[in-house]
Structure 1
Amino acid sequence: MFGRTYSDLGSVVGQINGEDIRANQLERHGYDWENGYGTPSDGQDTNRDGQPVRKLTKDAKSIIIFWSRSGSTKLLASKIARETGADILEITLRNPYPANYRKTLSHTNRERIQNDPPELEMQLPDLSQYDTIYLGYQTRAMTLSQPMKAFLLEYGGEFSNKEIAPFLSEGGYGSGDSTELIREFIARDGGKNKKVDWTFVGPENALCVGITDKFNEAGQKIFGPNQRAAQLEGSKDYALRFMNKYDVPTARHETYASAETCIEGLKNFDYPLVIKEDGLAGGKGVTIAQNQDVAEETIREMFAGGQTAVVLEECLVGPEYSMFVVVSEDQFTILPMAQDHKRVGDGDKGPNTGGMGSYSPLPQLKKEDRQRMIDEIVKPTMNGLVQGNYHYCGILYIGLMMTENGPKVIEYNVCLGDPEIQVVLPRVKNDFAQVIDAAVNHEKLPEIEENDSSILGVVVCSKGYPTHPAPNVKIGKLPHGTNTYIDYANVKGDLDNLIGDGGRLLMVISEADNLVQAQDNVYSYLSKLDLPDCFYRHDIGNRALRD
């Protein structure tokens, strides 16, 4: 289970095993602090110039295992050691990161995008004496830092019977999906000693780094595509080449490996123009540029941020739809469809997000258009998965647009997508676990039955999202809704005193007889909340009611 965490820095100076520890960057100000210059990397302050922290005793019942680049997480580890008397083990790399923060950031972004965690240089001791494992790390791009990911991929199965207490340092974006990933990596080998029929993988990060392959090697059943198939989401360029090969209709596109060639390629497209980061971006690595200046600035920023490839696409016009397909080798069955709202502002204004709200069913979608999506998109995609020997077993999300020339794919995802799945799964009449059980055992997939309910949800975000979400937003205790319920995301604390811990904080959802009533229920509830540091869209569902 996940235990108590420690995140209050307190004093700048800590101590581990008699050695003074200082988070050097906390003493820097102005330009150096903002740009990360002068901050020593983990490679300089522990791995290269000194010995990594390693304190192992015979009597301790807990151990702190941590990764620290500049000293902040190391300082937190020292405070936990002082309070608990735990043993300590520092994660070290064979090739330490650069001292310069921006170079390190670029390096780790490439590791994340290419799903290539760094190589470790350490040995894990016998953990049998420990009941509790404190895991210390930083979050990057709202997910686990690459060294901790590499550590858990290698050793996560050793922790399956331990109490896990994560603690982290971060730059205001919260824990992201880091705790969920920790659970996934620990579960990877944990099933060996338990009666586990199968594992359902949630986050795309774990799929893209090959958690399914590890399960398969261990003979464990798992629902989620293998690492090769997961590149359909992990790389936009890979997905587009797949679509081209198997005649899946999509936007006209081109991929570029440098800012210079990408900017030169702008002349081949009209505006508005879609610019996409090639790697994983949590639904936010897309910009719709209205002119040349915005396009050039966006391209330079993407490459400067560590992208090794950027995709230019024509801007398709038409309504967007979300389709979730359960795939088992050459079989598929389709979940109820939904419509997401990606842009941050009302009227589809502003930058892309991970999703601001969704609803299902889709009364504006004609039956014949849905059938075209199956015939022209789903079936060619399935043909490619089978012909390409992907051995796909998992969810395939297809983001579609119904253009005047028919349906076209916007993107593939390889897992259940937020916020659509919150309004999709409640509409499935089947026992969903039985559907997944049939998929992992390669039995005949049942046809999905849909109930008649209408479900709509609106996401509440911290001010500044998606670029700079405000940290530690006060939410407090939310009132009980008679015809609404809440799915929480990036929050911490308890239900009587919640604190926002990221960008998208929670989703208010209503299930009703029709979308008009569901929409009214959600917005009536939201109108009564006093959340001055939060915001939400006011037009979720309007497309269905208008069209």
Structure 2
Amino acid sequence: MKVLVVGGGGREHALAWTLLQSDRVEEVFCSPGNGGTATMKNCKNIPLAVDDFVGAIDTVKKYKINLVVVGPEVPLSLGIVDRLRQEKIAVFGPTQAGAQIESSKSWAKEIMTLANVPTAKSQTFSDANSAQEYIQTQGAPIVIKADGLAAGKGVIVAMTLVEAIAAVDELLGDKPGKLVIEEYLTGSEVSVLAVTDGKTIRPLSPAQDHKRIGEGDTGKNTGGMGAYSPVPLVSDELMARIETEVLQPTLKALNQKNIDYRGVLYAGLMITPQGEPKVIEFNCRFGDPETQVVLPLLNTPLEEILIACVEQKLEQLPPIKYKAGSAVCVVVASGGYPDAYESGKAIAGIESAEQKGAIVFHAGTKLERDRVITSGGRVLGITAIGDNFDRAIASAYDALESIEFDKMYYRHDIGHKYR
């Protein structure tokens, strides 16, 4: 079969790489792809923007593609799945209505209320003055979230009232829009990526992301500086609670809204000190960099899972199986990220890192005259698998020593949370 993966980041490289591990998948197309997918065997980049729906349809017809997998949230929120379904094209991902669970945090809160899932207390505001008055009554620490899509960076955790007031000005100010202001939750964050066909929902192996730019989880939020899977904190008992208290009720609430949701329902959770799972946010797609540690551990062919969701046969799929061991991904970023950074830096050492056993997933890269150069904030994800976390962490950082480009940056403490 042939598959089109829409997107060009590390998540999409991981999806393409995993699909090509199966004998059933003969070729993967990536639109637009990146420097890694451009050099991968049996993979072809198609120079299309992720919101070029007509181009995607033409590509499917031209290459006789059997399945489309949509990676990023932007085309999902713009309705790519609705458009492809109109053409009778098999596509994995939620419709535009379902994608609101990520594209509108206020709408997601409405779904959580309908589903009665445990989450942070919150209120939604459309003007800065009201938001700031509310913050004064609630105190700090407090969390301020932009209502729309923000590539993982539209959340400010304000530890003081001064920071909180400034966050309102930064995220809303005089601009039209909404803010969701939430109580500050304490505990350990966990990402649970679940696949669903709209009727049945199954969680994949849990992962833990490192969102902050600085070591020790300090500094600004990013799209994610690294991840590991599985998560020792998430026992079988806790996962059962997450299924029954979060995932299944949310899917039921989506059904009550007449939303046919076939894709990934990604629950960003806080596990409180009391062991309670509370929803921080929902996303409508595979996480990045969580995908880069969850999929390399997968033993069940990925295309079987995706097709079961598209055809609404997930209940008939045997239990999803995983390889033994642990996976760790360290993200290498451009210096300055998540603020201003330079692009066009030549990258050296990728082959050497791979020879050490790592999987190098490209994110912000492109192929230019046989050279791989930087083209984004998060550039590479160095993933390693080991018998245990210590070995996986050591392998990832050993491979990372081979990578070189001007002003590269990465955290040295990815995986520290597992202890």
- Alignment TM-score, normalising by the size of structure 1: 0.64
The secondary structure found in structure 1 opposite 2:50 is: helix
Q: How many aligned positions are there?
A: 372
- Measured after TM superposition, the shift of residue 248 of structure 1 is 1.2
In the TM superposition, 1:217-228 aligns within 5 A as: 217-228=86-97
The secondary structure found in structure 2 opposite 1:464 is: coil
Report whether the alignment pairs 1:302 with 2:174.
no
Distance change in 2, residues 1:329/1:365 (3 Å)? closer
1:463 is aligned to 335
- Measured after TM superposition, the shift of residue 534 of structure 1 is 1.3
- Measured after TM superposition, the shift of residue 259 of structure 1 is 1.1
The secondary structure found in structure 2 opposite 1:461 is: strand
The structure 2 residue matched to 1:372, chosen from 241, 255, 258, is: 241
Question: Contact 1:461/1:504 (CA < 8 Å) preserved in 2?
Answer: yes
The secondary structure found in structure 2 opposite 1:324 is: strand
- Measured after TM superposition, the shift of residue 497 of structure 1 is 3.6
In the TM superposition, 1:16-95 aligns within 5 A as: none
Question: Contact 2:348/2:405 (CA < 8 Å) preserved in 1?
Answer: no
CA deviations 1:374-424 (Å, max 9, x no partner) are 121112112212222111111111111111351111111111111000110
2:138 is aligned to 269
Report whether the alignment pairs 1:517 with 2:369.
no
Counterpart-to-counterpart distance in 2, 1:268 and 1:404: 25
Question: Contact 1:270/1:314 (CA < 8 Å) preserved in 2?
Answer: no
1:440 is aligned to 310
Counterpart-to-counterpart distance in 1, 2:165 and 2:379: 32
- Measured after TM superposition, the shift of residue 483 of structure 1 is 2.0
1:500 is aligned to 374
Give the RMSD, CA atoms, in angstroms: 2.4
Match for 1:506: what amino acid?
L
State the structure with more CA Rg.
1
| Unaligned 5+ runs, structure 2 | 1-30, 34-46
CA deviations 1:133-155 (Å, max 9, x no partner) are xxxxxxxxxxxxxxxxxxxxxxx
Question: Contact 2:146/2:171 (CA < 8 Å) preserved in 1?
Answer: yes
Question: Contact 2:85/2:91 (CA < 8 Å) preserved in 1?
Answer: yes
Question: Contact 1:477/1:495 (CA < 8 Å) preserved in 2?
Answer: no
Counterpart-to-counterpart distance in 2, 1:274 and 1:418: 22
Match for 2:375: what amino acid?
D
Pick 1 or 2: higher relative contact order, CA cutoff 8 A, min separation 6: 2
| Unaligned 5+ runs, structure 1 | 1-163, 167-177
- Measured after TM superposition, the shift of residue 264 of structure 1 is 1.2
Match for 1:425: what amino acid?
L
Report whether the alignment pairs 1:344 with 2:218.
no
- Measured after TM superposition, the shift of residue 477 of structure 1 is 4.6
Question: Contact 2:116/2:249 (CA < 8 Å) preserved in 1?
Answer: yes
Question: Contact 2:348/2:404 (CA < 8 Å) preserved in 1?
Answer: no
Match for 1:378: what amino acid?
L
The structure 1 residue matched to 2:268, chosen from 396, 399, 410, is: 399
- Measured after TM superposition, the shift of residue 195 of structure 1 is 3.4
- Measured after TM superposition, the shift of residue 270 of structure 1 is 2.9
Distance change in 2, residues 1:194/1:507 (3 Å)? closer
Counterpart-to-counterpart distance in 2, 1:382 and 1:325: 11
Report whether the alignment pairs 1:423 with 2:293.
yes
Distance change in 2, residues 1:200/1:184 (3 Å)? farther
The structure 1 residue matched to 2:227, chosen from 358, 362, 365, is: 358
Question: Contact 1:491/1:499 (CA < 8 Å) preserved in 2?
Answer: yes
1:490 is aligned to 364
CA deviations 1:494-524 (Å, max 9, x no partner) are 5964322121001111112111111001112
Identity %: 37
The structure 1 residue matched to 2:259, chosen from 383, 390, 399, is: 390
Report whether the alignment pairs 1:278 with 2:152.
no
The structure 2 residue matched to 1:472, chosen from 344, 360, 378, is: 344
- Alignment TM-score, normalising by the size of structure 2: 0.83
Question: Contact 1:477/1:496 (CA < 8 Å) preserved in 2?
Answer: no
- Measured after TM superposition, the shift of residue 474 of structure 1 is 4.0
Distance change in 2, residues 1:499/1:306 (3 Å)? farther
1:132 is aligned to none
Counterpart-to-counterpart distance in 2, 1:411 and 1:216: 27
Match for 1:505: what amino acid?
V
Counterpart-to-counterpart distance in 1, 2:174 and 2:289: 26
Counterpart-to-counterpart distance in 2, 1:184 and 1:487: 26
The secondary structure found in structure 1 opposite 2:129 is: helix
Counterpart-to-counterpart distance in 2, 1:355 and 1:256: 27
1:135 is aligned to none
The structure 2 residue matched to 1:334, chosen from 203, 215, 219, is: 203
Match for 2:329: what amino acid?
G
Question: Contact 2:199/2:312 (CA < 8 Å) preserved in 1?
Answer: no
CA deviations 1:280-319 (Å, max 9, x no partner) are 0010111111112211111112124845001111111111
Question: Contact 2:143/2:182 (CA < 8 Å) preserved in 1?
Answer: yes
CA deviations 1:341-392 (Å, max 9, x no partner) are 1111111101110000011112232222222211211121122122221111
Distance change in 2, residues 1:185/1:298 (3 Å)? farther
1:36 is aligned to none
The secondary structure found in structure 2 opposite 1:475 is: coil
